Structure 1
Amino acid sequence: MRSTEQFIIKKPLEFKTRLLRWAQQFDEVIWLDSNIYTQQYSSYDAILAVEAFTAIKTDHYNAFDQLKEYQESTSDWIFGYLSYDLKNDTENLVSENSDELNFPDLYFFQPKKIFLLKENILEVQYLRMVDDEIKRDYQEIRTLKGDNEADSSCGKVKISLKITKDEYKERVSEMLAHIHRGDIYEANFCQEFFAKDSCIDPLQTYHHLNEISTPPFAAFLKIEDCYLLSASPERYLRKEGQKIISQPIKGTAKRSLDVKEDMQLASDLSKDPKEKSENVMIVDLVRNDLSRTAKKGSVIVEDLCKVYSFKQVHQMISTIVSEVDPAISPVDVIKTTFPMGSMTGAPKISAMKIIENLESSKRGLYSGAVGYFTPNDDFDFNVVIRSILYNQEKRYISYTVGGAITAKSDPDKEYEECLIKAKAMREVLESIG
């Protein structure tokens, strides 16, 4: 079905930049970059998929059944995304908040051309219909000259808040009232920042965002006029053979330029009772979700509340694994765990209902997932956080940040944490023009 060739790349970092720039000629582009972040579960340093041969685009209604049929019938690599609002397919829920981005709820495509980079080895997989273009494309990428100049006609991006700080604090207080009543233990509450009648150069903006964050689950997605520029540090779910891996993030601390102070901030995070309780609650939720498809006794917590350091923040990450029966569809594994616990709360359905009532914007692709399925039914998906979303046709730019609200939450501190998480996106957008 696919022709494969391998090339040795002398300067992988330089080649990656050229490869992504070359990809901009296509209407469908997904770029996934680990930024060579050391991690236990990883197949490639970077992946590029371009040019749809077949595709599926749908709203939430029966979305997972349609995806399952598409994934099974295609029996090939497929790349795409799951928006948060697919919750309405898995549960009796709605999404009625405002949506200025208008991305489809689900989109996947079978690419004609795939590039898989690991260290200095580039593997190229083309569908047979275009395999005569492999060498030509490789030469074109290798000799691509100059940088793309950013679109200077866009001007300054003026960022607005969907809700004020006072409104945010009031809604956190409402969420705390739900927690004290026993409706929920924890919920992830998010707020949107946006710019109307604005434009950006998506590729330059992505490069800037990735440069200041260098996260392990970065993504650049282009589906016609819809763009995702993501500096995500979080994996949602991965399948390796029959092994399922989930790595939720809960717990955040700022970084410091002073080495001693920075080490202290990381140490304080590892011992913080509020942050640890947030993480443990979500670990319990993930264990429960994975158990729905796992072989009996196979759900194991490999790492609990381990602190990882990224350029912008320290994060507390846990790793939970399970084993599934080969007869279980990979799409069903995702369906029974979606949306991810780190972006919802516990109990999950109650938390999602309360989130819908208190948030002002439809989440859409934010807190959804981007990734791929392989021809042998493996998959890997990130969590869409620390991301800029852009509808080029509507000239609408958006980024959303949130945090876990628990009984120990302080509204002022939660708002401060949101601003820490928003820093990279704001810095990137405010530097434009």
Structure 2
Amino acid sequence: MMNPSRVQHRAVVDSMTVVVIGRQQTWICRRTVLQRIILLLLPLSLQAFLLSPRKHSRIPTATTSSSWQQQRLPSTTTTTTTTIFFFPHSNVDEHHQRPMRPLDGRISSSLPHQKYNVSLLLIDHYDSFTYNLYDMLAQLTVHPPVVVTKDAKDVDLAYLEKFDGIILSPGPGSPHEQPLLSHEAIQKFPHKPVLGVCLGHQLMALAYGATVDCAPKPIHGQDHWIVQQGHNNNVHTMSQKDGTTNDGTETASSRQQHKLHHPSLLESLPSSFRVVRYHSICAYNLPDDELVVTATSSDDNVVQAIQHLQYPHYGVQFHPESIGTQHGMDILKNFVEIVVDTQRQQEAEEKPHATLSSASSRSHQSTTAEPLPQSPTRTARFRVMMHKVLSSVQSVVEPLQVFERYYAHQRYSVWLDSSSYPSRGELDILAAPSRRDNDSDVLEYFQGHDGRDILSRLEDELFGHHESASTIIGWIPNKCGNLTLDETLIEWRDETSRECATTDIDTPPFHYRGGYLGFLGYEVRHDTQRYLQHRDNTNNHATPTSRTNEKHGVPTAAFFLARQSMLYHHPTESWYLIGLVEKDEDIQENLEWMNAILQDFDTWEENEEESPYASTTDHFAPTLEFIPSRSKATYEQDIADCHEHIRRGDSYELCLTNQLQARVGRAKRSTADLYKRLRRGNPAPYSAYFRWNLPSSFHGDNRWIDCPQPSSLVICSSSPERFMSVSREQPHPEIPPFLQAEAKPIKGTRARVIPQNGISRTDAEAREDERRARSLELSLKNRAENLMIVDLLRNDLSRVCKVGSVHVSKLMDIESFATVHQMVSTIRGTLSESKTSIDLLRASFPGGSMTGAPKIRTMELLEELEQQVERGPYSGSLGYLSVNGCMDMNIIIRSAVLAPSTDDETWKVSIGAGGAITALSEAQDEYEEMQLKARAVVAAVQDWASKPGMESSKEMMQGNKNATTTVTMAK
């Protein structure tokens, strides 16, 4: 009689694809008769023993899961545990009908017990993945690799000679277009180990006489099987441009393998494994007397790895540094070991003029490309006063009511609003400048005019002459009634020093301590790009080429110093008051302000409502027409142009955008009204209201230009996306505090089912809503988009984070908001000791989810496609930079930007929307996605324009959150 458990296993195998993980390795079981017999008849432990490859990798064990995402066991799980993943057959590649491998967000690796003492040069072809290679190689070597750009000044053959090995990075464009340095790195150093990745692989093939041309089809951000030719001589390799193949069944491949003078780059790896591909170009017609093909893709037979017969020169078309590539670290470790072996052989053949250690040390010290700056001695600028409100009525005081009473009518104000709580978001911050006569508290920046860039100004204000990432905090006693000076400063302590641990039980549950609040417009990219090029010592210089936007008076970036802030912590329903102390007299000023707020809270009535704003008869038509900056026909042609850029290898993904514009009368219309409508209809975790109305007549040290009219703008944002945050973490009292950076990119959108009754979904509507979420989860196109941006942001973080600290904690999660499902990933890393939040912004702005990859070349292409029209605040970032070094900035999407028109009688309303264009994009689908992303904001503006009179705050809080609209746009 058959064992019941085996009956169950048989049923599972018949309907599932099974992934066996044993002894830290992955093995995909195809549904063949032999494999079913193995699964059904052998004990699990014996399966693991028989199926495990020769070399072990660090792949985490996991529990059985019915979803594609790997779930982890606690760290006590032993490494010999065998686990079976079950994936429904619906979870397959839409093009190749194969199961999609779960990605757990960590690189599979076999790290050495000790690092290798070699010097490596990494030549960057302006790719957005180069620093992923840097981070992984730095984990393997004593000295991190030196990074130089392909056109770096003062880099010649003599400079290259100093290094033990060279890596040629990926990058956009064709190998035929690369500078001489990239070619000479291969041709002039036949006995020096050289590894080319993607574009570097193509350079390698081209240098030895192969043909390099367009691939059969562009493939970006997709994982595919590759097969080693040395392991399987029955592989057919597409080596001809016309697609014909050479049959490896003959002995040619094995004969070449015997002629190899150096180890294989893929040595000790499984005969087949999955890799991530980003390429539109590939190598054909490889000369048999120079190169041997060591791996090809299993589905389209494109060459994926090559090796020179005599020299230690290697190329891989795929990306070993991608988060989705198996054995990426093993491949790089093999290359480093080849570098070590080559050095030993050279030393044995000739008199060593220097030891490996000294050569490596000399090479590392001879460049100024990577050494980190040392922080100067500084003194703290601010002390922080904080009070937790204990008034019995505070729990009924809503942030919206506080906004209306204290901030809605301020000339400058901000509300960072977690309007989607409890689904996501925990903290609301409300603030305005407290010293209106102090111009130094206001920072305004216009791109292209004289004056220091905004990030340099912020750096000086926060860190320039003050203690980096360090603040003093004082707790005010938790009490009702008046606060006095004598009972205020009960404790002053260094709360954020990285050397000093904090164990105080009253540590607040958030990271904000007061600081600068504001936004960076997309065009700040020119400054960040210039900074990186200057740091990398390149010959290129980024210069603004966008023509002036018609948004009159809108600054490129604007921040003010919040000396007094009100915070609402949603999980505990608690209000906090924060005041900055720069001078002793600030203590009394903050006490007076706090006492005034406490008195208001004590007398706040539970059912208090703010009076509606005055209504007006100046109604607009019920449907407000929005005019796109580029018509549908033009936008679809732009998509076709994107496809051509992708086909040529100029970009992997382009985030194409459009601007929808309308005009609304200013008379008796409050922009706060618009924001309240927007947050009601489309609540989101990183929402914000930002009002900026700085008159041009002000004078002071911060007056950089003579703006002809007031630089007024309002940003009403219902953003679901965090760009970057920096938080102070200390998981255990014995662990020193550190600053953790986090990015949460969104790529992938599906419209949610809106309930017909306006209240709740029926069973049928709920099923359809779930089907849409599942469809997004399985979409090959959206997964590729998301993976590309995840790899890009890993690269950006690796520029400023500690080696080995950057990791992906969540990969391709589906998060559901009021109107859409989104695919969201989370990337984290620990900032290096000498780096600050400003350094992080310089390394990563603008967000890769709004540019595409590779970032620099793609931004240049987008500028042409978008007709050199500035994006303005849209696709920039809004949030805070705290005095303690912490930060939280969103991506400005799902937002309306309002600026006064030149006649000063109407608001010019601009709504940006767009989507990522990849090789898999369809023009009609992309245009509809652009409309979908704008829909909620357009609805709020239409409602605001047609009904300028506003409901009370209580009615707004209880209003229908599921309103929908049709986006009406002129053609």
Matched to 1:412, the amino acid is Q
1:147 alignment partner AA: S
Query: Aligned residue for 2:554?
Result: 103
1:159 matched residue in structure 2: 626
Q: What is the root-mean-square deviation of aligned Cα atoms in Å?
A: 2.1
**Equivalent position amino acid for 1:49 in 2:** A
Moved more, 345-354 or 143-152: 143-152
Cα 1:38–1:293 change in 2 (3 A) is farther
Q: Is the 8 A contact 2:443 2:454 kept in 1?
A: no
Tell me if the contact between 1:28 and 1:52 (Cα under 8 Å) persists in the aligned partners: no
| Sequence identity (%) | 29
Instruction: After TM superposition, give the deviation of residue 201 of structure 1 in Å.
Output: 2.4
Which residue is 1:136 aligned to?
A: 596
- Structure-2 residue corresponding to 1:201: 670
Q: For the residues of structure 1 that align with 2:713 and 2:615, how far apart are their CA atoms? A: 17
Aligned to 2:563: 112
Higher mean C-alpha deviation, range 266-275 or range 10-19: 10-19
State the partner residue of 1:59.
Answer: 446
Residue in structure 1 matched with residue 398 of structure 2 by the alignment: 15
Task: Please state how far the C-alpha of 1:134 moved relative to its aligned partner.
Answer: 2.2
Q: Relative to 1, partners in 2 of residues 1:150 and 1:424: Cα closer, same or farther, differing over 3 Å?
A: farther
Structure 1 spans left out of the alignment, 5+ residues: none
Does the CA-based 8 Å contact 1:26-1:51 persist in structure 2?
Answer: no
The answer to whether the aligner puts 1:253 opposite 2:756 as a matched pair is: no
* Structure 2: distance between partners of 1:34 and 1:95: 36
1:372 matched to 2:858: no
Q: Which residue of 1 aligns with 2:51?
A: none
* Cα distance between partner residues in 1 of 2:927 and 2:395: 40
Cross-structure match for 2:871: 363
| SS at structure 2 position matched to 1:239 | strand
CA distance in 1, matches of 2:388, 2:618: 40
In structure 2, relative to structure 1, the CA distance for the partners of 1:210 and 1:173 (3 Å cut) is same
1:14-63 CA distance string (max 9 Å, x none): 521211112123222110111253578x6x42111112541211234533
Distance 1:286 1:177 in 2: 25
Identify the structure with the greater helix proportion: 1
Alignment of 1:231 onto 2:718: yes
Shift of the alpha carbon at 1:155? Answer: 2.9
Q: Measured at CA, do residues 113 and 155 of structure 1 come closer, stay the same or move farther in structure 2, by a change above 3 Å?
A: farther
Change (3 A) 1:262 1:15: same
Q: Distance in 2 between matches of 1:80 and 1:46?
A: 15
Q: Which residue of 2 aligns with 1:6?
A: 388
Shift of residue 103, structure 1, vs aligned partner: 1.9
> SS of the counterpart of 1:100?
coil
Which residue number corresponds to residue 935 of structure 2?
423
Which of 125, 135, 139 aligns to 2:578? It is 125
Distance 1:3 1:243 in 2: 24
Work out which of the two has the higher radius of gyration on C-alpha atoms and give 1 or 2: 2
Q: Is the strand fraction higher in 1 or 2?
A: 1
Q: Is the 8 A contact 1:303 1:318 kept in 2?
A: yes
CA shift, 1:261, in A, is 0.2
Matches within 5 A, 1:187-336: 187-196=654-663, 198-199=665-666, 200-224=669-693, 225-241=712-728, 242-256=739-753, 257=755, 258-336=765-843
Distance 1:295 1:215, change over 3 A: same
Q: Which residue identity lines up with residue 752 of structure 2 in the other structure?
A: R
Report the Cα offset of residue 95 of structure 1.
Answer: 4.5
Q: Tell me the CA shift for residue 137 of structure 1.
A: 3.6
The answer to whether 1:31 aligns with 2:481 is no
Tell me the distance in 2 between the aligned counterparts of 1:372 and 1:64: 13
1:10: how far off? Answer: 4.2
Q: What is the aligned residue count? A: 431
| Cα contact 2:688–2:718 (8 A) shared by 1 | yes
Q: Which of structures 1 and 2 has the larger relative contact order (alpha carbons within 8 angstroms, sep 6+)?
A: 1
More displaced, 301-310 or 7-16?
Answer: 7-16
Q: Residue 684 of structure 2: SS of its match in structure 1? A: coil
Contact kept, 8 Å, 2:629 with 2:661, in 1: the verdict is yes
The residue type equivalent to 1:419 in the other structure is Q
In structure 2, do the counterparts of structure 1 residues 84 and 15 end up closer, same or farther at CA, with 3 Å as the change threshold?
Answer: same
Which piece of structure 1 moves more, 87-96 or 256-265?
A: 87-96
Question: CA contact under 8 A between 1:27 and 1:51: conserved in structure 2?
Answer: no
Q: Distance in 2 between matches of 1:39 and 1:77?
A: 27
Give the letter for the 2:577 counterpart. V
In 1, Cα distance between the equivalents of 2:403 and 2:430? 8
Residue 628 of structure 2 contacts residue 661 of structure 2 at CA under 8 Å; is this kept in 1? yes
CA apart distance, 1:423: 0.7
**How much has 1:284 moved relative to structure 2?**
0.7
> Residues 6 and 124 of structure 1 are in contact (CA less than 8 Å); yes or no, is this contact kept in structure 2?
yes
TM-score (norm 1): 0.94
- Structure 1 residues 362-407: Cα deviation after superposition (integer angstroms, max 9, x where no partner): 1111111111122210111110000001114652111110100001
Which deviates further from its counterpart, 62-71 or 397-406? 62-71
Q: 1:154 to 1:139 in 2, by over 3 A?
A: farther
1:273 to 1:328, Cα distance in 2 relative to 1, 3 A: same
Deviates more, 1:224-233 or 1:325-334: 325-334
